[in-house]
Amino acid sequence: MNRRLGVLISGRGSNLQALIDAIREGRLDASIAVVVSNREYAAGLEKARGAGIEALVLSHRGWPSRDDYDRALVRELKSRDVGLVCLAGFMRLVGAPLLDAFPNAVVNIHPSLLPAFPGVDAQRQALDYGAKVSGVTVHLVTPELDGGPIILQRTVAVLAGDTADSLSARILVAEHQAYPEAVALLLDGGWRVEGRRFVGRAVSDAPRSASAASA
Ligand code: GRF
């Protein structure tokens, strides 16, 4: 797989920073060709520039249709020879033009154990529901919101006394580990999608536990 990433953001960009750090530290064999934000003042743009990465603002406003915006995104990404599109807090539903241009090559990170708590405020949803465990999901993107094949998940305990902020902060630590790991897994290949299952050397499938190793 082409190891040039296009990272799409709308805000803070801490997952973008996690990808930048992983690349710099040699944990992720990739390069970031461009960071695109649909919002002009996304803090993540500064993180990109600080790392010497091209930071592009492409507002979602003023296009005749949602598909026209997606097509413009595709043009920007393809012209930079991007092979994998990483959504990192990109607050837009991506549609057919982008997904068709990058088949099984658009990935997203979500702060819950999907299919529980899709959409916005996933951490608050988990807390309000009374879940005892939540976590992180990295998944391939399909037209269904937060519904694509799951690449990897990490659990995070919900603690007594947690607020949405404290739970979000702990989940974020797990996100920053999970995203580079999942992107590395994708880029290494040797996986396939069967129905809605991502089948490959998923980390959770690896014979890591004592019982699995001795089996
Ligand atoms: C993260 O919680 C991510 O899981 C969700 O949006 C948030 C983005 O945070 N999709 P950041 O911009 O990466 O700091």
Give the residue numbers annotated as catalytic, written as ranges: 110
Phi/psi of residue 18, each to 5°? Answer: -65, -35
For 154-166, the pLDDT digits (tens) are 999 999 999 999 9
52-61, 96-105, 195-204: lowest mean pLDDT where? 195-204
Q: How many CB atoms sit inside 10 A of residue 106's CB?
A: 22
Kindly report the pTM of this predicted structure.
Answer: 0.93
Q: DSSP per residue over 77-142, as a string?
A: HHHTT--EEEESS--S---HHHHHHSTT-EEEEESS-TTSS-SS-HHHHHHHHT-SEEEEEEEE--
Mutate to test the pocket of ligand 1, among 172, 173, 177 (most ligand atoms within 8 A of CB): 172
pLDDT for the residue 215: 35
Residue type (1 letter), 93: L
In angstroms, the first-to-last Cα distance of the chain is 33
CA of 93 to the centre of ligand 1 (A): 14
The whole-chain average pLDDT of the chain stands at 94
Average the pLDDT over 128-132 and give the result: 98
Q: Exposed, middle or buried: residue 34 (CB in 10 Å: 0-12, 13-18, 19+)?
A: buried
pLDDT number for residue 203 = 57
Residue 102 Cα, ligand 1 centroid: separation in angstroms? 21
The answer, yes or no, to whether residue 144 has pLDDT greater than 80, is: yes
In CATH, the number for domain 1-103 is: 3.40.50.170
The full set of domain ranges for the chain reads: 1-103, 109-215
The reply to whether 109-215 shares the fold of 1-103 is yes
> Measuring from atom 1 of ligand 1, which residue has the nearest CA?
89
Amino acid identity of residue 24, one-letter, is R
pLDDT of residue 194: 96
* 89 close to ligand 1 (CB < 6 Angstrom): yes
Q: Is the CB of 139 under 6 A from ligand 1?
A: no
What separation in Å is there between the alpha carbon of 66 and the centre of ligand 1? 22
- CATH class as words, domain 109-215: alpha beta
> Residue 202 above 70 pLDDT?
no
Residue 169 scores a pLDDT above 50 = yes
Q: Is the CB of 109 under 6 A from ligand 1?
A: yes
Residue 1 has what pLDDT?
82
